[in-house]
Amino acid sequence: MTRVADSQRFILGAEVDAFEREMARQLEVGDAIGVTSGTDALLVALMALGVGRGDEVVLPAYSFFATAGCVSRLGATPVFVDIDPETFNVSPAAMAAAITSSTKALLPVHLFGQCADMTALRALSDRTGVPIVEDAAQAIGARYHGRQAGTFGALACFSFFPSKNLGAFGDAGLVTTDDPALAREVRLLRGHGMEPKYFHWRIGGNFRLDALQAAILRVKAPHLAAWSAARRHNANRYRRMFAELGLTDLVRLPVEAEGCEHIYNQFVIRAPQRDALRAHLTERQIGTEIYYPLSLHRQPCYSGTQGTPGTPGTTGTTGTAPSVARLPLDVADEAAATSLALPIYGELTEEQQRHVVASIAEFFEAPRLRTD
Ligand SMILES: *Cc1c(COP(=O)(O)O)cnc(C)c1O
């Protein structure tokens, strides 16, 4: 941080150049382009592929909103498809069924830190000629049959939001690609399509990464593998504890798909009476989160009907954005109703995990005792 202050170069520059070179090496990919956030990484990646009005982009109905929002912001239509009941990741068969002559990109998400079924999705992309953009915001460093997340698509997008496995001191993101032409396009779009100064070849934007965030991430990035290993260790410890207390019939633990090295950005269980269980854990000082309480196709901005009523609507924006959900999205809806993320960060102690699992056992014990 002192080096950045002394340089007086606060945006891009040598610090960001060095960060990009180091990240490309670490993520085993040809090029890495630092941007303002994971959201802007998605936006600029789709822009680089020319996604715009009249185009469709196929994506899972169960993800963080940015995955869909970026498609709509470009005037294209997000096409929501269902997820796999085991992994929370997009169903390749559902994605295949949603492709039309308007499909401009496939946008799988490596949700919670585990790669989507990239063997099937790559085959689908090869067969149809539709490029893949990976939303790898939650999966930095995850591996799929030995290969890192972000090396399967034409482009991949990462986020350094502080809750991700590699977090900045604010917002930051990254686009990666092995295609030099796409890398050039993303770099151009990142700075208003400008080259040289004040000559504009594209209508880009300001998606430039701050040098301070790059400097901080350069210090943290070498620790990523150890931090993710600690999360994996904690995940295995949870599995043992849930089994020891006989809870595996009551709650569904996250499933590691074959060939996947899950980095557990989140450890998400599925449980009946999820909201009551969450309240019970909150009473016991255990922080939990619901990723995500509402599937994307049900969001009010996509004319969904299950949003919290009586909120916004005074901002002057009118109407809702078009979206398409051609097939049933039952698995996404079921996940939204039952999923609960437990603490999984690397510094979590065995004692803390025991408290979490014992509290869950207590929740399911209590009603049983009462009915006896
Ligand atoms: C965090 C996240 C994003 C957006 O990243 P930001 O850096 O917060 O803009 C996009 N997609 C997914 C799946 C995410 O988890």
The residues pairing with 269 across neighbouring beta strands, listed in sequence order, are 340
Q: Which atom of ligand 1 sits closest to the CA of residue 37?
A: 7
**Domains delineated in the chain:** 2-223 (3.40.640.10), 224-371 (3.90.1150.10)
Q: How far apart are CA 238 and CA 232, in angstroms?
A: 10
3-state DSSP assignment of residue 4: helix
Q: How far is the CA of 363 from the centre of ligand 1 (A)?
A: 32
Q: How far is the CA of 247 from the centre of ligand 1 (A)?
A: 32
DSSP alpha helix (H) spans, the chain: 2-7, 13-26, 38-48, 66-73, 92-98, 118-128, 180-190, 211-220, 224-244, 274-283, 330-338, 350-371
pLDDT, position 314: 44
Nearest to 217 by CA among 297, 180, 162, 260: 162
Q: Which atom of ligand 1 sits closest to the CA of residue 67?
A: 11
Residue nearest to atom 7 of ligand 1 (CA): 38
Ligand 1 cavity residues, CB under 6 Å: 37-39, 63-64, 66-67, 109, 135, 137-138, 159, 161, 171, 173
Q: Which atom of ligand 1 sits closest to the CA of residue 110?
A: 13
Q: Which atom of ligand 1 sits closest to the CA of residue 138?
A: 15
Residue nearest to atom 6 of ligand 1 (CA): 38
Q: Which token pair is 280?
A: 């019970």
Q: Which token pair is 15?
A: 């610090």
Q: How far is the CA of 334 from the centre of ligand 1 (A)?
A: 22
- Using an 8 Å Cβ cutoff, are 52 and 74 in contact? yes
| Residuewise pLDDT in 10s, the chain (372 residues) | 999 999 999 999 999 999 999 999 999 999 999 999 999 999 999 999 999 999 999 999 999 999 999 999 999 999 999 999 999 999 999 999 999 999 999 999 999 999 999 999 999 999 999 999 999 999 999 999 999 999 999 999 999 999 999 999 999 999 999 999 999 999 999 999 999 999 999 999 999 999 999 999 999 999 999 999 999 999 999 999 999 999 999 999 999 999 999 999 999 999 989 999 999 999 999 999 999 999 999 999 998 755 555 555 544 455 688 888 877 899 999 999 999 999 999 999 999 999 999 999 999 997 655 454
In whole angstroms, how far apart are CA 238 and each of 117, 244, 245, 275?
25, 10, 11, 21
Q: How far is the CA of 234 from the centre of ligand 1 (A)?
A: 23
pLDDT, position 115: 98
Q: How far apart are CA 60 and CA 115, in angstroms?
A: 13
pLDDT, position 366: 72
pLDDT, position 370: 47
User: What is the rounded radius of gyration, in angstroms, for the C-alpha atoms of the chain?
Assistant: 21
pLDDT, position 96: 97
